A and B are shown apart, each in its own frame.
Chain A
Amino acid sequence: MVPTSPKILALSGGVGGAKLALGLAQVVPSDALTVVVNTGDDFEHLGLKVCPDLDTLMYTLSGLANQTLGWGQQDETWQFLDALKRLGGDTWFGLGDRDLATHVHRTALLAQGDSLSAVTARLMRSLGVLTQVVPMTDDSVATLIHCQNGETLSFQHYFVRDRCEPLIKGISFQGIETARRAPEFEQLIAYGDLSQIIICPSNPFVSVAPILDLAETWKALKAADCPVVLVSPIVAGMALKGPAAKMMTELKMPSTALAVAQFYAGRHLSWISGWVCPR
């Protein structure tokens, strides 16, 4: 394998991670940065493959992100969802018309046999994204939320349909035991000359953990000959975006930046008695 030039590797979930990824993309050459994105949130909806974190990266890096909503595309319209509602369809997940085109096109390309990483690269190119954005895996990994009432919810049911209201007691990643890193991610880890590894300010439990736990990626990153820098997603006790602070409280952790550091450092484990991520 031909050695590559030094690369900055950023690990990202959705909105918070995408913001820092955009900042990085502004200050380093496009060929020096690879962003690996969580796919544990991905799901099938109305027969379509939806990849919320990848799409957030794509819309943010292409300048198409909806700054008002914090998700989806700017100048979005909702005729499809309105029509679906009239038909009695399932409308809990807000598919805008422009966003819908992404999911339809991705699903069609996947149905032709292309991998998620190949389809992602194609979609990114189409929207003019020069930064390499890679799904963590081409295999299926599904984040499951284990609730205190005994229910187990898919991530999007918890996050969008139920608006993060259920109290959680743990999280697991279905399929993580057999999933492999996407080829570009694997190549970067196996042969890439990594100069910096940055963990973006994303939810430690449902955005970063799936990437780190996939094929023991965290051990491979720990062994890399460069520092790993993590940006806290918790500021003054609150999450920059999403349910991280609420999850920390329910997992019996203080919702503080220090507790995030302690979580990654593997200390004070009695706090995280509810953590059910299999390893």
Chain B
Amino acid sequence: MTMTPETLKNEPRHLRRMTIIWVVLAVAADLLFWFLVGPHVPPGRMTTTAKNNQEAFNILLVIAIPVLIGVWVYLGYSIKAWGIKRNDVESVGGDEARSNHNAQVSWIVITSVVVLFLAGFGSVELWSDNGSGGGEGPNPVWSPPGAIVAETAALKGTSTWAPGSNKVLVVQVIGQQWKFSYRYPAFGGMETTRLILPANTTIAFNVTSLDVIHSFWAYQLSVKADANPQLNNVAYTKTGQQGDFVVRCSELCGIWHGSMYNYGKVLSQSGFMQWATQTEAHNAANTKLLPPFAWTYVPDANGASGGFYPDGNVTPYTNSQLYGAKTPAS
């Protein structure tokens, strides 16, 4: 069917129809998503970063859903209104195939605005949430108040923490094939194989590895940072709710990678303090044998059998070789 000025004049206002359908469906879908699905979207709301990441994810979807519905409405409406009927002759070219300048400009402008808004929104979220729980490398661009003081104290061996102190708790995460272990400089530098944290406390995770690259992923805490040998990768979060969380390695690291996970807990501050002091006392004999707390460790220098000795036989070791780039406090 060829469009003539007469037939065009009698055509219904398709754009208005499509817009009305789109607005109704998009608003309904957004409301349903926001109130029914949104609160259950991973990673939950256990920490500030988890809560912020959940909100950011929900906002992204609230923006994406109307775009998706817009495409579907357009396709559906087009098929219904302009689809070839049985025995119709399919028209090729002509007026029906001409471009629509307004539609093209609108599409480019709208999608550009959405993308630029999301880029700005993502940057603000990253900045306002101190890296959103992602590893920021050894020199974080964003640090929460008190983090630098706490980390300096950890390195000097003067770190302390107590319930209600409002101090940042420094926790070192050490990846090794195939387990994460954790050091608490505020509790004598003790090392544990369980990650226990106090509620309502800012945590500074300092993540490193003794061998290959691992990735520390505390899922419900919404913290994820690569564990690189001889590099300190710092990530921040603030705990909120008490409860259990799971830690997984998210970097394929060898035969037992699939077993490289463990469960952690966020306890009340007093509960954490009780656990930490008991564990510190229980582990005291072994803690004395650990190397001084440092941001990184050079495992080869410890002389473990089968270690990879790039220089053949490096003894005696310098502090740099023993402890990495940062000299220990003592």
Decide whether A and B assemble into one complex: no
Residues of A within 8 A of B (CB): none
Residues of B within 8 A of A (CB): none
